[in-house]
Structure 1
Amino acid sequence: MSFIKKFIEQEKVNRRDLLLASAYGLGGVAATGLLGTGMARAAIADPTVAWSYRNRTNPYWNEIVGGGEAFVESLGKPKDFLTHLINEGSSEKSLADVKALLSKTNGDLALAIDTNDAPNARPVVEACAAAGAYVSTLWNKTDDLHPWDFGDNYVSHMSWSDEGPAEQTARILLEAIGGKGGVVHLGGIASNNPAIERLNGLKNALKNYPDVELLDAQPADWDTQKAAQVMAGFITRYGDEIKGVHCANDTIGYGVLEALRAEGMDIPIVTYDGNPQAVELVAQERILATVFTNPHWGGGITAALAYHAATGAFKPSDEPHAHREFYGPTIFVTPQDAKEFKANYLDNVPTYDWSDHWGPSNGQIKYQ
């Protein structure tokens, strides 16, 4: 449990362009050049490559950024060539950091980013497109925001189809408690796409289990310490009525396990992300199942898409929609296959061809 304790201790276009012109200190003629969905420009020979993310203390994001570093190393550059924009869960800081870097690089930027929440994606993309930079997003955006509406500058968006996998892990949990009793759900940031989909997955599964009651569902903001606090509150309120726990990600699961340990409770839980520590806990049957989304490949290919578009290696607007909004891969990890999975994906991280932009992807994103 030592790593668990470690975790615990640890804003139409005209207005946009006017604001950007003001932010960059541009006058009337220069500001006019910012109008439109993107700034026409030649390929960028050597763009700054940046990853904007929550923080690296989270194992999932550490793997994402590790993929970004592997990509820049494939260019013959050191890891520290990758610029890190760490927002610590603040959408305001995320946007401010991006605007500052756009100003510093004069738009010579290839940006990979999780915008922290879905509404923040549009102002980030608009700022990049207006500056002539190239951006690829991961996980969070609103359904009405599409790369093809921004020419080449909004290169791509990758997310995962989380409802289905989260429903399957929920079914594993509900079977483990004999299809009877109460369960609780600890989610991510409430406005995050994956947090919404993973809770929906649980609710979908519950439709087939009339004798199981969802006692409560609360956000834990993808955070281990907050998860421990939320779970402790659930235990105080519901006690032994809780027969199982559905967690929106692995790091939430670690906090749940700590809260259960403190109360001497041993009940089944399921998680999501397939982090190394979670896989080990699955192998020990302390977590029933997790879902691996290959963050190393996701982090590397998101940076690669932005970079290769920026340097002119490919033209995003020539690509089909399925290459601009697509699902990433998922693999289920259960006690039966945890050791084999660990050997194949964690102990020996596969070497990826970062010019194969859509190899492991899983089809075009579909909206309900």
Structure 2
Amino acid sequence: MSFIKSFIEQETARRRDFLLASAYGLVGVAASTGVVSAFAQNKPTVAWSYRDRNNPYWHAIVSGAESFVESVGYKKSELVHLLNNGSSEKSLADIKALLSKTGGKAAIACDANDAPNCRPVVEAVQKAGGHVATIWNKPDDLHPWDFGDHWVSHMTWSDEGPAEQTARILFQAMGGKGAIVGVGGIAANNPAIERHRGMMKALKDFPGIQLLDYQPADWATQKANQVMQGFLTRFGTKITGVFCANDSMAYGVLEALKAEGRKLPVVAYDGNPEATDLVIKGELLATCFTNPHWGGGITAALAYHAAVGTFKPSAEPKEHREFYGPTVLVTQKDAAEFKKKYISSTPKYDWKDFWGPGRGQIKYVAKP
């Protein structure tokens, strides 16, 4: 059985178990251990609110956070995991529950799941007197400096440019002609919007390539598999290339193509270990690495150090409150070297160098 098929089956089982646990009120119970331990040590509780540890991207995020908490004297098990499984409502409810349990003495790293959920999250943290550092999703008109020291920072990745690069690699591999389909993330997610925008920007320079359809698959392997099956039913052999907005969805796309006996050029995004191997083998043309281990660790570090008073966020310049994380394009030419540097061994990071690998202050695209 291929790892892709196993990945889809694991995703299905995980979703089933999550729904059962939710029904019996079990989700989030394990988080209390880290809260109690932090109280005993008179330290802030450190938590990460995220989607799903079975996803390689989020696993890398949280591995970085575990590395950070160990560097400041916590046990790895003391990091509190607030798993929202893609639910913004659960994300907010879990954060509010943690703030209530800790009396606001919490350092929270968070992806709000979608942009609209960011405001209630940071408002809840500010009201409780906690500290939160966020990644990926927030409205363009919402900024950490409007919340004093409680919203420590926001990091995102400049996805439009790298997504445009991966799309150009796809279109060039197609010889500048043919027809593609696209598989995107959650519609309200900032990275989903930027990656779609990057693909569309590249498409303007390739008049010989037609976009047949672009559908969201919510970053999920199984849903991407279903979306791709639908594309194959509707368009058949007209499809000559596939743009995927993340690696996990690309796995579902590749499995759907394999079931139909088709081999097409496919590009993805995230630089997960499995995707890197697929690039080396030539089954994916390219992916784009956002260094989630560093991102997960430094986001937790920012929240923690603000909570303990190592630095005062409101005294920092705006480029330290909102900034881009690093990206690395991975193609077959450099995938083996990339794997050796970032996957086979994890680089050692200085968790007090908050902004070193960053790529400068976030810039906003003017709305038409």
With normalisation by structure 1, the TM-score equals: 0.90
The answer as to 2:4 corresponding to 1:4 is: yes
User: Which of 132, 136, 141 does residue 138 from structure 2 map onto?
Assistant: 141
- Residue 331 in 1 paired to residue 325 in 2? no
Q: Deviations over 1:119-169 (max 9, x none)?
A: 000000000001100000010000011000000000000000000000000
RMSD: 0.9
Q: Give the alignment of 1:77-156 within 5 angstroms.
A: 77-156=74-153
For residues 69-100 of structure 1, give each alpha carbon's deviation from its aligned partner in whole angstroms, at most 9, with x where no partner exists: 00001112211110000000000000000000
Q: 5 Å matches for 1:11-22?
A: none
Corresponding residue SS for 1:340: helix
Q: Does structure 1 residue 304 correspond to structure 2 residue 293?
A: no
Q: 2:242 aligns with which of 242, 245, 251?
A: 245
Retained in 2: the 8 A contact 1:45–1:311? Answer: no
Structure 1 counterpart SS, 2:116 = helix
How many residues align? The count is 335
SS in 2 for 1:155: strand
Residues 1:276 and 2:273 aligned together: yes
In structure 2, what residue type is equivalent to 1:8? I
Consecutive unaligned residues in structure 2, runs of 5 or more? 11-40
How many angstroms apart in 1 are the aligned matches of 2:289 and 2:242? 19
Q: 3-state DSSP class of the match of 1:107?
A: coil
Distance 1:2 1:75 in 2: 40
| Match 1:361 to one of 339, 358, 361 | 358
Alpha carbons 1:278, 1:287 under 8 Å: kept:
yes
Q: What is the distance in 2 between the residues matched to 1:282 and 1:74? A: 34
Code of the residue aligned with 1:255 in structure 2: it is: G
Match of 2:58 among 58, 61, 64: 61
- Residue of structure 2 aligned with 1:196, choices 193, 198, 204: 193
Post-superposition Cα deviations, 1:316-355, rounded to whole Å, max 9, x if no partner, equal 0110000000000000111011111000011110110000
> Partner of 1:35 in structure 2?
none
Return the alpha-carbon distance in structure 1 between the equivalents of residues 222 and 262 of structure 2. 18
The correspondence for 1:218, drawn from 201, 215, 220, is 215
| Distance in 2 between residues matched to 1:77 and 1:110, nearest whole Å | 13
TM-score, normalised on structure 2? 0.90
Percent of aligned positions that are identical: 68
Q: Which runs of 5+ in 1 are unaligned?
A: 11-43
| Over 6 Å off, 4+ runs | none
Other-structure match for 1:178: 175
Q: Deviations over 1:170-224 (max 9, x none)?
A: 0000000111110011000010000011011110001000111110000010000
Structure 1 residue 45: Cα displacement: 5.9
Report the alpha carbon displacement of residue 2 of structure 1 after superposing the two structures with TM.
2.3
Equivalent residue for 2:13?
A: none
2: distance between equivalents of 1:184 and 1:328?
A: 28
